[in-house]
Chains A and B, each alone.
Chain A
């Protein structure tokens, strides 16, 4: 599913260059449920962005489902993000003016799904995260757990093979956090590849594998190592 070789990512802000990732070799197979851990500044989010094709590496090779990512155009990357990847963010990143239902609809719109089919599918996925009755609510009217479930429904609605979650429970109370993790666990069973960034050892232990990062390098849990 994911095959990264000697991935480096350098951010340059003016004269200062920051090497966020310093040679990552990483393989994640299909249906794996993986946790990525590490102190802040270790490059977790950068890795996540690269895996999700939100960003491109400074050097190295990345194959997503056998497709070489570095050579793709911005539009092709957008297509991958739309079809193959589902993102769940710590701060949910819902569109504040749109209802839960409309938020779930967005990836389908960019995917060019016809309106009737789109509505049916968005509703179906809201139901799946147990929010069918909250469809007309705006994010501000939902609890944190509910917002994150909307975000998960949105991440899944295009049925991506890969689901990426960046500290999905970071802003949630323990109870809601548990529900969310249950959802991710279920996704793993349903045939999605799930990568979760987390600080929470309780969560990490429920995954198949824990990848530990420090200073832009993988120090433990590398499937290839």
Chain B
């Protein structure tokens, strides 16, 4: 029932202080909206980035043969180290921490034809595990190259979604034959559309994937273009990379310390960088948002200061009628809480509205979809509550500690 009185008192105060209340509310609304929106957009960008990273595959390392830069065991420097398909088996066998390895034969300008549609594209020969490592997911009704294909050197092909469109248009592709360099191949799967923002030899959407065995038999390549491998535990990537140098160095007689003998692209390094980058980014956003909220809090504190000043007499009257310190304290703290709470709620709803409207701006490709998280909301509410408490407490305490006689005299 006292709450009712606090509320009606508050409403009266606010009515008599319309402009000041509005400005303060605006500060809090702006602060909350800034925090929530910044965090949501930050998270959206991060998620979008991860989604695009996902297109290449997570935690994989791409390995190419290189050229030695140091003489070793009687061999001169500058010797080429090409990789062979069987090296994949060697690496898998020799390195305990290795989760999977796939060789990748690659042939540019491969002619592919279906009916009257002909294209020239990149074709790769791989192992089934390649699909898993590179997040190559077939569309419904299809599949990726499997073990039987590989063992039996089947003439089957898995095609990228763009390649499928180029060859088949809207027509169903699975179960049909396409002619690859004059050899008919059965289409067993089509790539499910995916985001891919980085690549090392063109996008998967344009490629044709065939079993490595079929590829080797057809073209007689001795060397693979590259291999991709993935450690069991992403934290052991460095160790596994080191072991790859040792195993291949032993086989091809080069110094494992000769980093140029092989070349590697460790995608986890970029992922790691991005993780830290976005962490820093979000800390930065939180700092900005918090600062904004604190500025709003100073606004609240300011208005409360004036309110207390103006109502010293009222405090005196109430004290003469038996108000205790707690009554006075609570009244002012209650008022700040209402301002911060209303401001916070409006700010939050405003952010939700902006995010709902976000697709209108057409920026998703760059910024991703902003995501409001429960934690963000909680953090914002927590900071706001704290700001409200601190900014309300000090003026309130000043009011509660007034000497009733002096307060009445004003």
Query: With A54-B405, A55-B405 given, is the CB distance from A93 to B16 under 8 Å?
Result: no
**Could you write out 9 A-B pairs with CB less than 8 Å apart?**
A54-B405, A55-B405, A75-B325, A78-B319, A81-B320, A95-B317, A110-B322, A111-B322, A114-B1
Q: Closest approach, in angstroms, between the C-beta of A11 and any C-beta of chain B?
A: 10
CB of A87 within 8 A of CB of B320, answer yes
B77: CB under 8 A from chain A?
Answer: no
Q: Closest approach, in angstroms, between the C-beta of A20 and any C-beta of chain B?
A: 11
Cβ proximity bits A113-137 to B, threshold 8 Å, 1 near / 0 not: 0110010000000000000000000
CB of A109 within 8 A of CB of B317, answer no
Give which listed residue, B1, B4, B16, B404, contacts A55 with CB less than 8 A: B404
CB of B318 within 8 A of CB of A97, answer no
CB of B1 within 8 A of CB of A107, answer no
- In angstroms, Cα B323 to Cα A75, docked, is 8
A49: CB under 8 A from chain B?
Answer: yes
A192: CB under 8 A from chain B?
Answer: no
Query: With A55-B404, A93-B408, A97-B16 given, is the CB distance from A106 to B318 under 8 Å?
Result: yes
Q: Closest approach, in angstroms, between the C-beta of B65 and any C-beta of chain A?
A: 85
Give which listed residue, B16, B321, B404, contacts A154 with CB less than 8 A: B321
CB of A87 within 8 A of CB of B321, answer yes
A79: CB under 8 A from chain B?
Answer: yes
Looking at chain B's contact residues, the main secondary structure is helix
B250: CB under 8 A from chain A?
Answer: no
Taking CB atoms and an 8 Å cut-off, the chain B residues in 300-338 that contact chain A are 313-314, 316-327
Q: Closest approach, in angstroms, between the C-beta of B109 and any C-beta of chain A?
A: 86
Cβ proximity bits A171-212 to B, threshold 8 Å, 1 near / 0 not: 000000000000000000000000000000000000000000
B140: CB under 8 A from chain A?
Answer: no
A74: CB under 8 A from chain B?
Answer: yes
- In angstroms, Cα B16 to Cα A95, docked, is 14
CB of A81 within 8 A of CB of B405, answer no
Query: With A74-B325, A75-B325, A115-B1 given, is the CB distance from A93 to B320 under 8 Å?
Result: yes
CB of A82 within 8 A of CB of B322, answer yes
- In angstroms, Cα B321 to Cα A220, docked, is 31
Q: A106-B318, A110-B322, A115-B1 are in contact. List 14 more A-B contacts (CB 8 A).
A: A74-B325, A75-B325, A75-B326, A79-B324, A82-B321, A82-B322, A89-B408, A93-B317, A94-B317, A95-B314, A95-B318, A97-B12, A114-B1, A158-B322
Cβ proximity bits B352-371 to A, threshold 8 Å, 1 near / 0 not: 00000000000000000000
CB of B317 within 8 A of CB of A107, answer no
A57: CB under 8 A from chain B?
Answer: no
- In angstroms, Cα B323 to Cα A118, docked, is 16
Q: Which residues of B contact A (CB under 8 A)?
A: 1-2, 4-5, 9, 12, 16, 313-314, 316-327, 403-405, 408
Taking CB atoms and an 8 Å cut-off, the chain A residues in 75-92 that contact chain B are 75, 78-79, 81-83, 87, 89
- In angstroms, Cα B5 to Cα A79, docked, is 19
Q: Which residues of A contact B322 (CB under 8 A)?
A: 78-79, 81-83, 107, 110-111, 158
A145: CB under 8 A from chain B?
Answer: no
Listed residue (A81, A115, A154) with the most chain B CB atoms within 10 angstroms of its CB:
A81
Query: With A109-B1, A110-B327 given, is the CB distance from A52 to B12 under 8 Å?
Result: no
Q: Closest approach, in angstroms, between the C-beta of A158 and any C-beta of chain B?
A: 7
- Closest A residue to B4 by beta carbon equals A115
Q: Which residues of B contact A49 (CB under 8 A)?
A: 405
- In angstroms, Cα B319 to Cα A87, docked, is 11
Give which listed residue, B5, B325, B408, contacts A109 with CB less than 8 A: B5
Query: With A54-B404, A55-B403, A97-B16 given, is the CB distance from A109 to B319 under 8 Å?
Result: no
- In angstroms, Cα B324 to Cα A78, docked, is 6
Q: Closest approach, in angstroms, between the C-beta of A139 and any C-beta of chain B?
A: 12
Q: Which residues of A contact B323 (CB under 8 A)?
A: 78, 82, 110
